[in-house]
Structure 1
Amino acid sequence: ELESVLFLAEVSSKQLFGKDRDDAGRMAGDYMRGGGTYDPSLNPNAYPMTDGRLFPSAVTVRINDVVAGRAMLQDDPADHRGILSWHFQKRDRRLREAGSYGTLLRVPVPRAALERAAALGQLVIRLEVDSALPGGLAIYGRRFGRYPLDPTVVFVEKP
């Protein structure tokens, strides 16, 4: 018999960088004359580190259509704590996810979701973000972020 079931995942909000936008290659003006974008994330070989500007988001975790939890995501952080993102990025002299990392979510799986899983024969986990907030969602795996784990479901049996 189960004592508890947890869903674990490392997540953060996700800023849309200038280099990832559809108009990334276009620039109005000349940098030498004060023109340009004033966007440090526009450089295709840049990955801005954490600063004072926040990109908040919120994630809702649904398991088999049952709301299991909601968490506020304060930012899209990137610094030395995202050691896995630094270490495992492709070695081609370009920065993609340099130092990015998230928060470790620990969401208890509700009994109703487990009952539906038993009836359906599957556990469906959905992460949703609120489109009204400026940040999106980044989901990290065992080779990116801060924690070396893929999104995981932990089953704890009663002793």
Structure 2
Amino acid sequence: MAKSTKKTRTRRELDVLRDYAYRLFASGETQKMIASKTGITEATVSKWAKEEDWDARRKEQNSSSTALVNSLMLAAKKISELIIAKLNSGETGDIDAITKLSDNIAKVMASAKRIAKGITKDEVIDVIIDLEQWMVQRSETDKELTPELIATINGMHRKYIEHISAQEA
């Protein structure tokens, strides 16, 4: 009786591969190429893409930088108008509210500036994808790069992307 050649993977290893597969997808790879690079079947890649709505996630990440900067500038303008209206109407009693609005303008403008000069969340994600691809390839020869370590690093990458997304919001 022939032995099965199917490799059994732990849940953690599958999670690492799923994260890696999505990052490949977000960078423009086809599901067929993702299957080839990860050693996962095309059916599984397709299933993951449907379950996690990879198309919608990629569209969200690929929004136009110019449109995003314009939206942020419009938001800053509206916040400024609100501050001016409060000050003109004599509503200076709630200085905390005015201060919070001013802080929001600073955050919005910082995000717009970062995006306008070309450092976008998408570019950060692209760098992370490249790094993770390299780590997965390197893990074939470097035993220090265990699936657990890669999963931990991937988790930190996700947290960092959430952090920069929150700064933009």
Which TM-score applies when normalising by structure 2?
0.23
Q: Which has the larger radius of gyration?
A: 2
The answer to which structure, 1 or 2, has the higher relative contact order (CA under 8 A, 6+ apart) is 1
**Would you tell me which structure has more helix in proportion to its own residues?**
2
Which TM-score applies when normalising by structure 1?
0.24
